[in-house]
A = this chain, B = another copy of it.
Amino acid sequence: MPAKDIKNHTIKQLETLAEEIRKDIVSNVKNCGGHLSSNLGAVELTLALHKVFDFPKDKLIFDVGHQSYTHKLLTGRDLSRLRTKGGASGFPDPEESEYDAFAAGHSGTSVALGIGYCAARDLRGGTEKVVCLIGDASLGNGAALESIFSSEKKPKNFVVVLNDNGMSIDKNDSAFFKAISKATAKKRYRKVNTVLSRTFKETSAFGKYLRKIKYSVKGWLNKNYFFERCGFKYVGPVNGHDLSELCAVLENIRGIDEPVLLHAVTQKGRGYAAAEEDPSRYHGVSKDFEDSDNTFSAALGNILLERAQKDTRLLAVTAAMTDGVGLASFAEKYPDRVFDAGICESFAVAMAAGMAKGGMRPVVCLYSTFLQRAYDQIVEEVCLSSLPVLFCVDRAGLVGADGKTHQGLFDVSLLRGIPNLSVYAPKDAAEFADIFDYALSKNAPAAIRYPNGVAPALGARTQISDETLWEVLEEGEDVAVLASGARAVERALRARELVFPLRPAVINCRTIKPLDEKMLASLAGKRLIAFEEGYAEGGFGSAAAEFFAERNMPVSLKIMGAENTFVPHARAQEQAEALRLSAQDLAAEIKKQFSEMQEK
């Protein structure tokens, strides 16, 4: 279904197509997991954009990109293997299609990308139009606000479509959103809809049309004040599900060269009853949702619930991911002790620093890939003053279906370079609880990283303490595996079974910073294999290499970490195999080390 095909579609045909696309999205997301509510809300908007603009000559820039499925379908991509190995990515990706102007995955950058692209276009005298599609929740992110509020000389032939579903991922508590959407927030979708219909029916020629919408809406909403001050012609609000209205307005916008912000009101989950009623729940749908009770995220929720009653200093901070990081039950029981910053990681971390200074013990719960958005605040606000903020770094390591833009492969190298910050990686959920308590007891900044999926239950051998930072899980000879993190430990134990009767030692290196220097030094005579799910560059193995280099101790140390590439969507296990980080790969390396040993 190439994009150009819909150019001659009538509105009626587009409406029929919208229904088909909805069915396609629902069935594919049911099969493969993915983003449901946001995609269902953007069907008509995307159709109208494709009908009116000439992509890929014109550029369509998605913010976050979790609303790009309709666009993918219209540009010839098959969603039947969405987010699975070799299938379509869940996010825009220029490597997948020339219709995807930019890769996306994190919030708030589309407008900056658009402004930059337009600047380049204008310098070389290009004529293509640039359209950004951004949701109301993304607009509250600092990167988005920076770009919206940048120089009021916004580029020509530049359209920002604000997809305002009044929702964001969880409920939206942003004052900015409320300010710009006062009317929609108050009157909800249906009423706005009615008002809009009235407004639009009066209009005809575009000059009059635009002005009418603008001025009739002006006093009523005051919304345009923001955007006009920022250099945009404000158009809207329009009904984001009315293809006739959308196409007419976009056609007119296309005809002028001024920067325009089109405010479209949509309904998240539109057309799928369950998602309409509970769009938060259907924001991201996991294929194997049944695992959710055994994840590290669930463990975090339990840990907090257990400790919150005794320790009234414990607070949880999250960035629009209360459910995702496992805080749902904690938030229900202690609503005053959960702080959802919206998609504002910088704000979340700086706020936590303030809380720590104020005597509380904030636990900042973020996915690894989003934590990197607040790196500067971790350094400057938290660690420089050594404030006791605990970072729970979820989705650390290979993340599976979300792919390239969401991998948790950077955090070890990011975090272990920061003074005053300790970094931990528990092997299982029970150890997570131990480390949580241990980290809190240190009265200093700390980060605990753990992967998504089912948390193994490996059975605690020794409890972490100052004397037992690492633990020997399996004694052995000649070769020792230094395993960092739950998946690495679990695979190391399996690899040991695979190489039987060879007997490598298996060490649970549950502290990444500090290292267990005593144990590491004691292992210097063995052939060491550092094994981790993260980039080798600056990672855990690198820390071990530094340890020996600092002491000028020549050792045999093999680092097995992720190759330094962006890792596409597939199951996490498949990604590990592609990176040669499976139990089998480790077993092969162990065998190689033993055989080289014998050759000597």
Contact = CB atoms under 8 A, between A and B. Distances in A.
Interface of A: 94-95, 101-106, 108-109, 112-121, 123-124, 126, 140-143, 145-152, 173-179, 222, 225-226, 229-231, 312, 315, 336-337, 339, 341-342, 344, 346-347, 350-360, 362, 372-373, 375-377, 379-381, 383-385, 404-405, 410, 413-414, 416-420, 513, 530, 535-539, 541-546, 548-550, 552, 554-559, 564-566
Q: State the copy count for this chain.
A: 2
A353 B124 contact: no
Contact of A351 (B119, B145, B226, B558): B119
A384 B404 contact: yes
A147 B116 contact: no
Contacts of A535: 417
Given A142-B145, A146-B341, A347-B147, A376 B123 contact: no
Contact of A123 (B146, B360, B539): B360
Contacts of A104: 380
Contact of A381 (B102, B346, B350, B539): B102
A559 B86 CA distance: 42
Contacts of A376: 106, 372-373, 375
A418 B562 CA distance: 12
B536 A541 contact: no
Contacts of A384: 103, 404-405, 566
Contacts of A559: 546, 549-550
6 contacts: A109-B377, A112-B346, A146-B341, A375-B376, A513-B537, A554-B556
A136 to B, nearest CB: 12
A414 B416 contact: no
Contacts of A544: 549
Contacts of A336: 123
Contacts of A177: 149
A171 B503 CA distance: 67
A230 B552 contact: no
Contact of A113 (B381, B383, B539): B381
A359 B146 contact: no
A147 B347 CA distance: 6
Given A94-B385, A124-B360, A419-B565, 12 more contacts: A109-B353, A112-B346, A120-B360, A123-B337, A143-B377, A150-B342, A372-B376, A373-B375, A417-B539, A419-B564, A419-B566, A549-B557
Interface centre among A150, A358, A535, A557 (most CB of B within 10 A): A358
Contacts of A148: 175
A530 B542 CA distance: 14
A50 B73 CA distance: 62
B151 A145 contact: no
A538 B538 contact: yes
A541 B549 contact: yes
Closest 8 CB pairs between A and B?
Answer: A116-B354, A142-B142, A120-B358, A538-B538, A149-B176, A112-B350, A545-B545, A116-B351
A342 B381 CA distance: 21
Contacts of A113: 350-351, 353-354, 357, 381
Contacts of A176: 145, 149, 230
Contacts of A149: 140, 145, 174-177, 179
Contacts of A341: 146, 150
A546 B542 contact: yes
Contact of A538 (B123, B350, B417, B556): B417
Nearest to A339: B119
B419 A417 contact: no
For A120, A352, A405, the residue with the greatest tally of chain B CB atoms inside 10 Å of its CB is A120
Given A109-B377, A566-B419, A119 B354 contact: yes
